């Protein structure tokens, strides 16, 4: 092979063949003009035709692969993941059939009646389980939750937002949800409230829901959100109102965002380890789950 750096001067290309190639890329008509000037047009055209035949025989380059869509899940599903990754897998990824649940239906009905109270009207066909964030809605409760709401401080407040949907970018993932209500109990403070139709139960995974809402009111495009916020669970199913609230500052919100990002990354990675707990008593999939079945058998109900 001839080294272009040490070869003798080219009789056709005074600046060298590499410079001629760069010039031809910039001006595709240049080779034909050079061939005409050197009276070698027939040889040039024959060589160009032969090269075209070779190029025609090459395979087509592969089509560019579309980028995989960002991982996306709901607040309800992320609470499930925080409680048990295997349950999340069976409810949101490789979905298994679920039993009809009177508690979930009750949760939908209570949320719809609260929304009707605040809005003054909601088409019945819009009220279904998928409309609301209902993690933990399959826990039993008693009494009339709406009567408890009607007697509470929330019934007399005019909400700033009611059943407000949002979609939030957290790290590489998207998180979608719906906030039950946002009130302004005092100037410069938003209280984000999630109503629970059941009795209070201390499931640490539920805190993920409050974290998501606290981040969403500041980052998901809700106009006018102040610096100060409070997030509240209002339990209506224990015979009376029981509130669990946390005050939100910037440090709280930053920690919440970091926790959400870690959970979403783990969920996107496909983690599906079983995490047996009290929730196994109400899980639709315990009969398919050896770890859950073992936990229930080892912890008989009182």
Average pLDDT over residues 193-207: 91
Q: What is the mean pLDDT of residues 112-128?
A: 68
- Angstrom CA distances, 6 to 16, 19, 21, 53, stand at 11, 15, 18, 32
The CATH class that applies to domain 72-298 reads alpha beta
Cα distance between residue 138 and residue 70, in whole Å? 30
Q: DSSP alpha helices (H): ranges in the chain?
A: 17-26, 30-37, 41-56, 75-83, 85-88, 102-119, 145-150, 207-219, 250-268, 290-298
Residue 196's nearest CA partner among 158, 126, 149 is 149
Q: Encode pLDDT of 221-243 as tens digits.
A: 898 899 899 999 999 988 899 99
**DSSP characters for 164-188?**
EEEEEEETTEEEEEEEEEEEEEETT
**Distance (Å, whole) CA 188 – CA 181:** 16
pLDDT over 80 (residue 247): yes
Coil, strand or helix: which one is 89? helix
pLDDT in tens, 5-49: 555 566 767 777 777 778 778 888 878 888 788 888 888 788 888
CATH 3.90.320 domain position(s) in the chain: 72-298
Given this model, what pLDDT does residue 71 score? Answer: 94
Mean pLDDT of 276-280: 91
State yes or no: pLDDT of 124 exceeds 80.
Answer: no
DSSP element (H, E) containing 92: none
Give the three-class secondary structure for 271. coil
pLDDT band at 282 (very low <50, low <70, confident <90, very high): confident
* CB proximity list for 71: less than 8 A, separation 6 or greater: 172, 173, 174, 264, 267, 268
- Express each pLDDT in 187-197 by its tens digit: 999 999 999 99
Per the prediction, the chain carries an average pLDDT of 85
Cβ distance 291 to 276 under 8 Å? yes
């Amino acid at each position: 092979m001839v080294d272009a750096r040490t070869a003798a001067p080219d009789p056709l290309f005074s600046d060298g063949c590499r410079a001629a190639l760069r010039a031809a890329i910039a001006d595709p008509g240049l080779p034909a003009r050079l061939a005409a000037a050197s009276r070698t047009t027939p040889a040039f055209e024959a060589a160009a035709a032969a090269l075209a035949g070779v190029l025609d025989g090459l395979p087509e380059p592969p089509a560019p692969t579309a980028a995989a869509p960002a991982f996306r899940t709901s607040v309800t599903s992320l609470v499930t993941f925080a409680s048990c990754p295997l349950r999340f897998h069976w409810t949101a990824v490789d979905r298994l059939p679920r039993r009809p649940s009177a508690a979930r239906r009750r949760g939908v009905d209570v949320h719809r009646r609260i929304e009707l109270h605040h809005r003054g009207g909601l088409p019945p066909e819009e009220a279904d389980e998928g409309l609301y964030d209902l993690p933990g809605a399959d826990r039993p409760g008693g009494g009339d939750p709406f009567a408890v709401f009607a007697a509470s401080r929330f019934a007399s407040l005019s909400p700033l937002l009611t059943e407000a949907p949002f979609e939030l970018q957290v790290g590489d993932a998207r998180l979608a949800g719906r906030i039950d209500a946002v009130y302004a109990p005092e100037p410069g403070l938003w209280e984000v409230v999630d109503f629970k139709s059941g009795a209070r139960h201390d499931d640490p995974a539920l805190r993920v829901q409050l974290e998501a809402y606290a981040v969403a009111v500041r980052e998901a495009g809700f106009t006018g959100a102040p610096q100060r916020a409070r997030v509240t669970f209002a339990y209506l199913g224990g015979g009376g109102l029981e509130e669990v609230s946390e005050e939100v500052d910037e440090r709280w919100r930053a920690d919440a965002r970091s926790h959400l990002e870690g959970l979403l990354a783990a969920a996107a990675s496909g983690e599906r380890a079983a995490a047996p707990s009290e929730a196994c008593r109400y899980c639709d999939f315990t009969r398919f789950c050896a770890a859950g079945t073992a936990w229930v058998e080892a912890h008989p109900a009182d």
